[in-house]
Amino acid sequence: MNQTDAFHRRIDEALHNAQLRQNFRSALTGIMARRAEQFPDETQLQALRDQARAVRANALVRQPELLERLEAKLTENGIQVHWAEGPDEANAIIHGILERAGAKTVVKGKSMVSEETGLNHYLEHHGIEVIESDLGEYIIQLAEEPPSHIVAPAIHKNRREVAELFQRFHPEIPYTEDIDQLTQSARVVLRDRFANADAGISGVNFAVAETGTLCLVENEGNGRLSTTAPRVHVAITGIEKVVERLSDVPPLLEILTKSATGQPITTYFNMISRPRQPGELDGPEAVHLVLLDNGRSRIRVDDELLDTLRCIRCGACINHCPVYVQLGGHAYGTVYPGPIGIALEPQRIGIHKVGTLTSACTLCGACGEVCPVRIPLPKLINRLRAEAVDGLRAGTAVRGHGSMRKPAEAGVWLLWRWLYTAPSRYRLFTRLATRLRWMTPPWLGAWTRYRCAPRPAQRTLHELAREEGFRNE
């Protein structure tokens, strides 16, 4: 099945799942309202967005130097830095670290980058037990599903579905649909895991070059536990997460938590700069950072598309997307769903593989308006649409450029251009179209499945205008 048919089939499934749509609708309505409450002052919000955008944009400008500085500083601090071109290399590096440390069990904090590499699967295949410790991640790990949202991975499940999962995997705990009790059950179940895991794996929200500091944003405490209780900590992140100074962090943190979940700040902001030092009584003996490229450096080559890399993964664009709310995250079939997914994934994976995602957008502009770092998502999506069908071969960084071009579609536009660029041809065409309107076919494929076929008017607008006395129309 080609990518478009496969996508349409997933869309069809999602649209016919009333429960799923209800779960998304109610969850997203709440998040949007909470975000809005955090920004009562429009001027302040816009100023903060400018600040966050500049911090991220300039970090990307100086990215090669900053990464080297980060590496030097982390190394000086005793944190070991590894570079990976793609998923396989990253997974192999992490597996190597765990193997050398004799680690058999791993607790994991939330990390979308590890979803990119399929890390859990890889490690399990190599005999290492991996437990997701974020509640949402734990739920979908039990369900054997990928995350449907980058901030709230189990957003597609309601309390009954979660209760049934817990019942199935932990029959010793009495069945309940009460959210507080379900949360307590998860605490009890995962506590032993934290206490006994050999290694912890986490993502990174910001990596500060100036001080060699890895910053993690979270509410549950699982991120802190994963990075504190085991004897080894491995962090994995994309190479775009580096920022220059520690003073760059407060504006990013503020706009991240407010945009993501409508919180002025999360419960924990965890800054890690070293492994356990002599005399210290806890914390991992070894800390590693894996810097993953996986297509990012190629995106950066294009001065327009590089804006994609400013993303701080807040999920606001996803929450406000009128298409996402109908489909949910799984329909996209990629690691990152919603507007940021549509912009990022075709660049990362290639238009020939997932370019069809760009059709799941109404260009309404909601995503671009809420993005805390002012990524012009609609513009990027439009650019990728053009890339997908462009006939010219040269001068672009996007893989699969032109791969969705269809001769018939291209022919129609060629004809359109031919008609519209010569007034005489244009007049003849509109005259024929109006006079021969009875010839319009009643069935126009998918368009007329739920709608009437459009039919030209009896007279052209130009004719009507002339009759009304307009000249030089």
Partner 1 sequence: MSDSRERILARLRANRPIEVPTPTVYAKPLGWDREHCIASFMQRMQAVRGEVHRIARDAWVDWLAGELPARGIHHLLAGNGDVGDRLASALPASIRLSRYDHPIEQWKPALFNDIDAAITHARAGLAESGSIVLWPDANEPRLMSLAPPIHIALLDSHKLHENFAAMIAAEHWANGMPTNALLISGPSKTADIEQTLAYGIHGPKQLITLLLD
Query: Minimum CB separation from partner 1 for residue 364, in Å?
Result: 23
Nearer to partner 1, 51 or 120 (CB): 51
Task: Tell which one of 190, 317, 327, 360 touches ligand SF4 (CB under 6 A).
Answer: 317
Q: How far apart are CA 113 and CA 129, in angstroms?
A: 19
Please report whether residue 283 would count as binding partner 1 according to CB under 8 A: yes
Query: How many Cα atoms within 13 Å fall on the side-chain side of residue 212?
Result: 19
DSSP string for residues in 21-61: HHHHHHHHHHHHHHHHHH---HHHHHHHHHHHHHHHHHHHH
Please report whether residue 275 would count as binding ligand SF4 according to CB under 6 A: no
| Binders of partner 1 in range 73-92 (CB under 8 A) | 82-85, 89
Q: Where are the beta strands (DSSP E) in 356-432?
A: none
Query: Minimum CB separation from partner 1 for residue 378, in Å?
Result: 20
What is the CB neighbour count within 10 angstroms for residue 226? 32
- Each residue 201-240 as x (binds partner 1 by CB under 8 A) or -, in order, gives ---------xxxx-----xxxx-xx--xx-x-------x-
Nearer to partner 1, 268 or 426 (CB): 268
Task: Pick what 274 binds: ligand SF4, partner 1, none; C-beta below 5 to 8 Å, kind-dependent.
Answer: partner 1
Please give the C-alpha separations between residue 168 and each of 61, 139, 178, 418, in angstroms, as whole numbers: 50, 12, 16, 64
Nearer to ligand SF4, 31 or 123 (CB): 31
CB 114 within 8 A of CB 107: no
Task: Pick what 82 binds: ligand SF4, partner 1, none; C-beta below 5 to 8 Å, kind-dependent.
Answer: partner 1
Nearer to ligand SF4, 95 or 258 (CB): 258
Query: Minimum CB separation from partner 1 for residue 401, in Å?
Result: 18
Nearer to partner 1, 148 or 460 (CB): 148
Structure tokens at 95: 């597996």
Please report whether residue 36 would count as binding partner 1 according to CB under 8 A: no
Task: Pick what 219 binds: ligand SF4, partner 1, none; C-beta below 5 to 8 Å, kind-dependent.
Answer: partner 1
Q: How far apart are CA 106 and CA 129, in angstroms?
A: 6
Query: Minimum CB separation from ligand SF4 for residue 372, in Å?
Result: 5
Please report whether residue 395 would count as binding partner 1 according to CB under 8 A: no
Task: Pick what 210 binds: partner 1, ligand SF4, none; C-beta below 5 to 8 Å, kind-dependent.
Answer: partner 1
DSSP string for residues in 191-236: HHHHHH-SEEEE--SEEETTTTEEEEEESSSHHHHHHHSSSEEEEE
Task: Tell which one of 14, 27, 318, 380 touches partner 1 (CB under 8 A).
Answer: 27
| Binders of ligand SF4 in range 373-402 (CB under 6 A) | 373, 375, 377
What is the CB neighbour count within 10 angstroms for residue 270? 18
Nearer to ligand SF4, 53 or 401 (CB): 53
Length of the chain: 473
- Each residue 325-364 as x (binds ligand SF4 by CB under 6 A) or -, in order, gives ---------------x------------------------
Q: Among all chains, which residue has been given the structure tokens 């399929």?
A: 118
Structure tokens at 367: 């995503």
Torsion of CA 203, 205, 208, 212, to 10 degrees: -20
Please report whether residue 258 would count as binding partner 1 according to CB under 8 A: no
Please report whether residue 30 would count as binding partner 1 according to CB under 8 A: yes
CB 106 within 8 A of CB 199: yes
Q: In what side-by-side order are the strands of the sheet with 105-108? A: 79-84, 286-292, 232-238, 199-202, 105-108, 129-132
| Binders of ligand SF4 in range 282-311 (CB under 6 A) | 311
Site residues (vs ligand SF4, CB under 6 A): 311-317, 340, 370-373, 375, 377
